[in-house]
A and B are shown apart, each in its own frame.
Chain A
Amino acid sequence: MIGNKNNFKKVAMIAAIGAATTFASMSAFSATHPKTGEELAADQSYTYRLPDGIPSLDPQLVEGVESSIIVRDLFEGLLNQDDLGNNIPGVATSFDLSADKKTYTFHLRKSIWSNGDPVTAHDFVYSWRRAVDPKTASPYSWYMEMMSLKNGAAITKDGMDSKELGVKAIDDYTFEVTLDAPLPYFPSMVTHTTTFPSHQATVEKFGKDWTRPKNIVGNGAYILTNWTLKEKNVRERNTKYWDNANTILNKVTALVINDENQALIRFKAGDLDKTEIPAGQYPAMNKSNPGEAFSFPRLCNYYYTFNLSESGPEAFKDVRVRKALSYALDRNVIVKNVLKGGQFPAYTFTPAATAGFEVPEVAYATWTQKERDAKAVALLAEAGFSKSNPLKFDMIYNTDEAHKKIATVISQMWKQKLGVNAVLANQEWKTFLETRKKQDFELARGAWCGDYNEASTFLDLVTTQAGYNHGKWVNTEVDELMNAAKTSATPNVNYTRVEQIMADEMPVIPIYHYTGIYMIRDTLKGWPIKNVQQTIYSRTFYKTAK
């Protein structure tokens, strides 16, 4: 992948000529990194694995982590994130907040689209209206509702004219947003791809085909040059990007490789610079490729939820049964012997990596597994279950090798320690979603990745009205605490209390908190491993010479 010496000489020569001509090309071709002084590779291209085809690259229609990464390369919103997840200027260089905290005024830089048109406040007005318009039918219009934009909900729900949305172009470079209510984390929300600008003339000219390489107009650091569904996606340097002079990486290629073991072979063959490590293979990869296997905390949890609704089994309505099952589950075995990727055993719902969240001390987390097992046996006996009258239930998960392994291990633990008979069943994804949504289950797998970096993104899920509360657990104190947290100066107190209530009531069995487990080529630098949300901008990467 890395160019041979002759190639390198050629590039160095071109670099010398480039340096003589313009400043911009000098920084693009210079052989050392301007800040770190590392020697740069001649071939500044980055290739990574995509697990599946990209459904859409239209900023207002895009969904999914992988698609968003590409959209962040092709388009740029008002604000970006740095490698720690802090907001930094994007198209907007700064913003002001009104005294009533309901009006944000963004000051935009003078930048241009890849076709040379200026990027203006009108582009943002157009795109934000487009995102809430029912005709667009954006699957993320709910996100715009969460942003509390004035009239946002009325437009999406009741078909009010999208021109009534609380956005305005004061002039070409001043974009004003009016909210229904103050929202302290509003600035972070505009780093999301749904709020990115789309080029109106292009959208109107080409319709759904506007995101094809031959038609697309973007304002990001890269332009799309190839997008073959389920094969690959290639983007190359956009020389018209405002910060082009500081972009080192020239080309980003995403290869669709469905099977993660196949992707690992391709990584070993040198075809990929980054791929995921399949469950259980981290230690082996760390040994064979030292310095290239990474494991870092992610904002995601993994749990099993009890069906506590009318349709759920009677046994689960007894908190002693729920606790017994949770206690007897040895999380360390799951993490250390099954997954082996540095995941964290979970006794709380919210991951410790969440910003500002301190993991509250819940009693059962401090016990030894032996103590937990003893308690579990006692509790289950108290609840009236024994060898002659064993507890029996079904547990479901969506079809996947790792889920299957975990479920098998869990059911064995229960069988051995408690004599419980858990019958496993896997379901294909969409069927699983439907089954869980209709409370047509007894015990079901659940997992959640935070939408934003704050504990409420997890704890809101267990409130009574939450759509994701599949177990239909109802606790009015939790509802009140979570509601109060929205306006509280010290929301963490509320979050701690909610976690304690959850440990007492055990509506779900937390199992582990995720880590991102990647193979990253040692010459690829700049991966934001400290950004728990993994907000990635390819232009911050660069390749060093071997």
Chain B
Amino acid sequence: MFSFIIRRTFSSIPTILILILISFALMRLAPGSPFSSDRGLPPEVLANLEAKYGLNLPWFEQLYTYLKGIIFSFDFGPSFKYKDRSVNDILAQGFPVTLTYGLWSFFIAVAVGIPLGIAAAVRHNTKLDYLAVGFSIGAQVLPNFVMAPILVIIFTLWLNWLPGGGWNGGEWQYVIMPVIALSTSYMASIARITRSSMLEVLSANFIRTAKAKGLANSSIILNHALKPALLPVISYLGPAFVSMITGSVIIDIYFSTGGMGQFFVDAALNRDYSLLMGVTIVFGVMTILFNTIVDIAYAWLDPKIRL
């Protein structure tokens, strides 16, 4: 098991390097520059700006300086657009926000989704099952960019219960709507996957044997059926977790959270090279990290995979 973890960890290093190289190349290939604007800057002003941000150097030198900064001082450089901030400042502001609503969303999606899926499977073809399936389908066809404004209309405009946006350092009133909007569709997916996987397991031979032995139903489900039934759920949870904690541009736009999702998209649109690189690297490392964790969890649940 230990060697498996070591192996997985080391194999992720080249992946990260390739990620950096590809994002660096793609960014430079995109038309326009961080300083292009409607007005268009005079050449001498542009030259001063490029000199200040090192864009006048050959690309390999830029890449070298950049990598050196990250590896030796964990410094992602200055933002090209937000001139009063460094990329580290922006990550320090946006990441905790995203992490907060992402973790809560994940927690709620799992805490509601899995029990709902199990209940639906156990009470197969009953009203509860239909309700759970109906909810899942409903939640999936209602994307969060539709749900977010609806939530604001209901809870802010009509009921005046919750603030319609902002973050305020993560006060609970500000966190509720982003979490609902983000978690619902994941919750639905988790419930659906759990339900169908559970149904499959419940009709397996070893469950029939357990039933024949006269075990209590709750014991069958918790001790025998749950572990194998969760395997497909876990493979879904890994990427879902990463996409939740790296934020959603929709959530950030509609709830003005100041989170990372919107910075990511805007950095690309603004050609804010250093910010885009910084966010890509952090997101990339996290994706790889959680995929590794999922693999490890998988290996623990299913020994066949360790081989």
A residues near B (Cβ < 8 Å) are: 52-53, 55-58, 61, 63, 134-135, 137-139, 141-142, 145, 156-157, 208-212, 228-232, 255-259, 261-262, 265-266, 268-269, 271, 428-431, 433-435, 437, 447, 467-468
Contacts and interface: CB of A to CB of B under 8 A. Distances in A.
B31 A259 contact: no
Interface string B17-44: 0000000000000111101111111101
Contact of A265 (B40, B78, B149, B167): B149
Contact of A430 (B31, B149, B160): B31
Given A156-B44, A231-B256, A209 B84 contact: yes
A465 to B, nearest CB: 12
Interface in B165-191: 165-167
B84 A135 contact: no
B280 interface: no
Contact of A433 (B32, B51, B81, B167): B32
Contacts of B263: 229-230
B85 A208 contact: yes
Contacts of B258: 228-231, 256
B152 A232 contact: no
Centre residue among B31, B84, B90, B254 by max chain A CB count within 10 A: B84
Contacts of A256: 256, 258
Nearest to A435: B31
B146 interface: no
A407 to B, nearest CB: 18
Contact of B51 (A53, A137, A429): A137
A269 B164 contact: yes
Contacts of A433: 32, 36-38, 40
A231 B164 contact: no
B31 A57 contact: no
Contacts of B167: 228, 231
B86 interface: yes
30 contacts: A53-B82, A53-B266, A56-B83, A58-B83, A135-B52, A137-B48, A137-B49, A156-B45, A208-B83, A228-B167, A229-B85, A229-B90, A230-B263, A231-B166, A231-B258, A256-B256, A256-B258, A257-B256, A258-B253, A262-B148, A262-B149, A265-B152, A265-B156, A265-B164, A269-B164, A271-B163, A271-B164, A431-B32, A467-B42, A468-B39
Contacts of A257: 165, 256
Contact of A266 (B40, B78, B156): B156
Q: Identify the 9 closest CB pairs spanning chains A and B, nearest first.
A: A430-B32, A231-B258, A137-B52, A434-B31, A56-B83, A157-B44, A134-B48, A137-B48, A258-B253
A141 B51 CA distance: 15
B164 A266 contact: yes
Interface string B126-148: 00000000000000000000001
A262 B49 contact: no
B51 to A, nearest CB: 7
Contacts of B163: 271
A240 B295 CA distance: 61
Contact of B82 (A55, A134, A156, A259): A55
Nearest to A446: B38
A141 B84 contact: no
A53 B262 CA distance: 10
Contacts of B253: 258-259, 262
Centre residue among B44, B45, B49 by max chain A CB count within 10 A: B45
Given A258-B254, A259-B254, A468-B39, 11 more contacts: A137-B51, A156-B44, A156-B48, A229-B82, A229-B263, A231-B166, A232-B166, A258-B256, A430-B31, A430-B271, A434-B31
A261 B271 CA distance: 26
Nearest to A399: B269
Contacts of B111: none
Contacts of B65: none
Contact of B40 (A141, A209, A437): A437
A139 B41 contact: yes
Contacts of B36: 430, 433-434, 437
Nearest to B253: A258
Contact of A262 (B32, B165, B262): B165
Q: How large is the interface on B (under 10, 10 to 19, 20 to 34, 35 or more residues)?
A: 35 or more
A150 B177 CA distance: 57
Contact of B84 (A57, A259, A266): A57
A148 to B, nearest CB: 15
Nearest to B52: A137
Contact of A55 (B32, B81, B148): B81
B166 A141 contact: no
A18 to B, nearest CB: 30
Nearest to A467: B40
A255 B166 contact: yes
A182 to B, nearest CB: 22
Contact of B31 (A142, A211, A230, A431): A431
Contacts of A209: 84
A156 B52 CA distance: 13
B84 A211 contact: yes
Nearest to B36: A433
B270 interface: yes
Contacts of B269: 428-430
Contacts of B78: 208
A265 B157 contact: yes
Nearest to A232: B166
Nearest to B164: A266
A55 to B, nearest CB: 5
A210 to B, nearest CB: 8
A138 to B, nearest CB: 8
A102 to B, nearest CB: 23
Contact of B262 (A135, A138, A258, A435): A258
B270 A430 contact: yes
Contacts of A58: 83-84
B246 interface: no
Contacts of A156: 44-45, 48
Contacts of B217: none
Centre residue among A231, A271, A467 by max chain B CB count within 10 A: A231
A141 B32 contact: no
A212 B83 CA distance: 12
Nearest to A56: B83
B1 interface: no
Contacts of B40: 433, 437, 467-468
Nearest to A470: B40
B257 interface: yes
A254 to B, nearest CB: 11
Interface in B52-67: 52-53
B9 interface: no
Nearest to A159: B48
A22 B149 CA distance: 48
A232 B156 CA distance: 18
A435 B36 CA distance: 12
Nearest to B155: A269
A138 B35 CA distance: 11
A142 B45 contact: yes
B93 interface: yes
B252 A230 contact: yes
B149 A434 contact: no
Centre residue among A211, A212, A266, A428 by max chain B CB count within 10 A: A266
B153 interface: yes
Contacts of A56: 82-84
A149 B52 CA distance: 23
B164 A61 contact: no
Centre residue among B53, B152, B164 by max chain A CB count within 10 A: B164
A499 B164 CA distance: 48
